[in-house]
C-alpha cells in the first residue's frame, strides 16, 4: 500500500438495505464499527462489503479496482423502520481459499440482517420487469374488459412483488470520483435531481446481457466528499476480464455458509487465490474480533506458510489474540 493511498482520507460505510430508498441522513448515522484503517477504499473495501452482502444474499460479488484512496471501514445493517443500525464484527479465519467473516456485534445490539440467500433474485427482477412491460403493453393496447381484469391481477402481483424488493447494499466512500470503478461495465440510464440535494443521483445498469444488477450513485449533500453507491441485485456473471485488474482475476461469487449461520450470521467469502495483500488488510483490520478457533485453525488451514506470515505481518497482534 502506498503512502499516497494512505494519505487520502476516505471513508467507507456499508449497510444492507431492506428499505427501498436511500436515506443519506440515516447512512450518515451509521455506527462506527471499526477503528480507522488505511486501506484501499475504492478497491477492496467495496469488495469486502459486497462479499459480505453476497454472503447474506447468497451470492453477490463486486470487485473494485484500484484508485488512490484509503478507507475507514464501516459495516452495518439497517433496521428498516427505525433507522436502527447494528454492527457486524468482522471475524476472519482462513480456510483454504475462504475468508470467514463471522458475526458478533460490537455494540449492544442484535445484528439485524435479513439473510435471504434467495437464488431467484434475478428472477424476481425479471418478473418485475416483465410485469412492467406487460402493464405497459396493456396500456398501449387500448384495453378492454379483459385488460381491466388482467390489470387488476397484474397490479396485485406487482404489489406482492414490491414487498419482495431486491435487497440492496450500499456504502459511502469519501472520494472525489463520482463513479467508482468496480470492474464491471455499467451503462448510465438515468440521472435525477435529488430532493434537498444539489447533487444528482445517477442510475447505472450492468451492461452484461441478462444481468439485472443496477447501481445508484449519488453524492451526499451533507458531506459532498462522500459518494453513496447502492447496488441492487446480483451479478450472474464474472467480472469482465478486460476491465478487471489482475488482483481480482478470480471469481467474484460468494457462498453462503448456512451451516454456520449464527444469530448474528456467519459468512463465507470465497476469495480468489490472488487475493491481494490489501484485501486481507482492509477487511479484518476494520473491526478486529477474532474467531476463537482461529489460532488453532491457522496452522492447519494455511496451505502456505507465507500466508500466515503475511497475515501476521499485516494484522496487529491484537487481532490474533485468543478470546476467552
Binding residues for DNA, per CB under 7 A? 20-21, 129, 132, 135-136, 139, 155, 158-159, 162, 179, 185-195, 201-204, 207, 214, 216
Cα–Cα distance measured from residue 72 to residue 282, given in angstroms and rounded to the nearest whole number = 9
For DNA, the closer CB: 151 or 225: 151
Measured from the CB of residue 243, what is the shortest distance to DNA in angstroms?
Answer: 9
CA 159 vs. chain centroid, Å, equals 26
CA distances from residue 123 to 4, 163, 234 in whole angstroms, order as listed? 43, 15, 11
Measured from the CB of residue 203, what is the shortest distance to DNA in angstroms?
Answer: 5
Beta partners for residue 217, in sequence order: 202, 229
Measured from the CB of residue 176, what is the shortest distance to DNA in angstroms?
Answer: 16
Measured from the CB of residue 144, what is the shortest distance to DNA in angstroms?
Answer: 17
For DNA, the closer CB: 124 or 158: 158
For DNA, the closer CB: 124 or 185: 185
Measured from the CB of residue 55, what is the shortest distance to DNA in angstroms?
Answer: 24
Cα–Cα distance measured from residue 271 to residue 60, given in angstroms and rounded to the nearest whole number = 12
Q: What DSSP assignment string belongs to 254-321?
A: -B--GGG--TT-EEEEE--TT--HHHHHHHHHHS----TTHHHHHHHH-SSHHHHHHHHHHS-GGGGP
For DNA, the closer CB: 139 or 306: 139
Cα–Cα distance measured from residue 312 to residue 324, given in angstroms and rounded to the nearest whole number = 21
Measured from the CB of residue 255, what is the shortest distance to DNA in angstroms?
Answer: 28
CA distances from residue 202 to 77, 112, 179 in whole angstroms, order as listed? 23, 29, 9
For DNA, the closer CB: 98 or 181: 181
For DNA, the closer CB: 159 or 304: 159
Give 136's contacts (C-beta < 8 A, 6+ positions apart). none
Helix (H, G, I), strand (E, B) or coil at 283: helix
Cα–Cα distance measured from residue 183 to residue 279, given in angstroms and rounded to the nearest whole number = 15
For DNA, the closer CB: 19 or 98: 19
Measured from the CB of residue 131, what is the shortest distance to DNA in angstroms?
Answer: 9
Measured from the CB of residue 118, what is the shortest distance to DNA in angstroms?
Answer: 18
For DNA, the closer CB: 125 or 174: 125
Helix axes 277-286, 305-314, angle to 10 degrees: 50
CA distances from residue 171 to 78, 142, 272 in whole angstroms, order as listed? 12, 44, 23
For DNA, the closer CB: 184 or 294: 184
Cell numbers linked to 290: 477474532
Measured from the CB of residue 260, what is the shortest distance to DNA in angstroms?
Answer: 33
Cα–Cα distance measured from residue 1 to residue 296, given in angstroms and rounded to the nearest whole number = 29
Cα–Cα distance measured from residue 160 to residue 43, given in angstroms and rounded to the nearest whole number = 37
Amino acid at each position: 500500500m502506498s503512502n499516497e493511498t494512505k494519505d487520502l482520507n476516505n471513508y467507507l460505510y456499508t449497510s444492507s438495505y431492506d428499505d427501498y430508498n436511500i436515506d443519506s441522513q440515516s447512512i450518515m448515522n451509521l455506527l462506527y464499527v471499526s477503528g480507522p484503517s488505511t486501506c484501499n477504499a475504492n478497491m477492496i473495501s467495496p469488495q469486502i462489503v459486497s462479499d459480505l452482502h453476497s454472503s447474506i444474499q447468497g451470492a453477490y460479488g463486486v470487485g473494485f479496482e484500484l484508485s488512490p484512496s484509503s478507507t475507514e471501514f464501516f459495516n452495518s445493517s439497517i433496521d428498516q423502520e427505525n433507522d436502527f443500525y447494528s454492527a457486524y464484527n468482522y471475524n476472519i479465519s482462513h480456510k483454504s481459499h475462504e475468508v470467514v467473516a463471522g458475526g458478533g456485534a460490537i455494540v449492544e445490539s442484535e445484528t439485524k440482517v435479513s439473510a435471504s440467500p434467495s437464488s431467484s433474485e434475478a428472477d424476481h427482477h425479471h418478473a418485475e420487469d416483465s410485469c412492467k412491460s406487460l402493464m405497459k403493453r396493456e396500456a398501449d393496447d387500448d384495453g378492454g374488459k379483459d385488460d381491466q381484469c388482467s390489470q387488476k391481477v397484474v397490479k396485485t402481483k406487482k404489489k406482492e412483488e414490491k414487498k419482495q424488493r431486491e435487497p440492496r447494499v450500499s456504502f459511502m466512500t469519501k472520494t472525489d470520483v463520482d463513479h467508482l470503478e468496480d470492474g464491471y461495465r455499467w451503462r448510465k440510464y438515468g440521472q435525477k435531481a435529488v430532493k434537498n440535494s444539489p447533487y444528482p443521483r445517477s442510475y447505472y445498469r450492468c451492461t452484461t446481457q441478462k444481468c439485472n444488477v443496477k447501481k445508484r450513485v449519488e453524492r451526499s449533500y451533507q458531506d459532498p466528499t462522500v459518494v453513496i453507491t447502492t447496488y441492487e441485485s446480483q451479478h450472474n456473471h464474472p467480472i469482465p476480464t478486460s476491465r478487471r485488474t489482475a488482483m481480482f482475476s478470480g471469481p467474484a461469487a460468494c457462498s453462503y455458509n448456512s451451516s454456520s449461520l449464527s444469530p448474528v450470521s456467519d459468512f463465507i467469502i470465497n476469495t480468489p487465490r490472488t487475493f491481494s495483500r490489501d484485501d486481507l488488510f482492509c477487511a479484518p483490520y476494520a473491526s478486529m474480533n477474532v474467531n476463537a478457533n482461529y489460532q488453532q485453525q491457522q496452522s492447519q488451514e494455511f496451505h502456505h506458510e507465507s500466508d500466515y506470515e503475511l497475515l501476521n505481518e499485516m494484522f496487529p497482534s491484537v487481532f490474533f489474540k485468543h478470546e476467552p
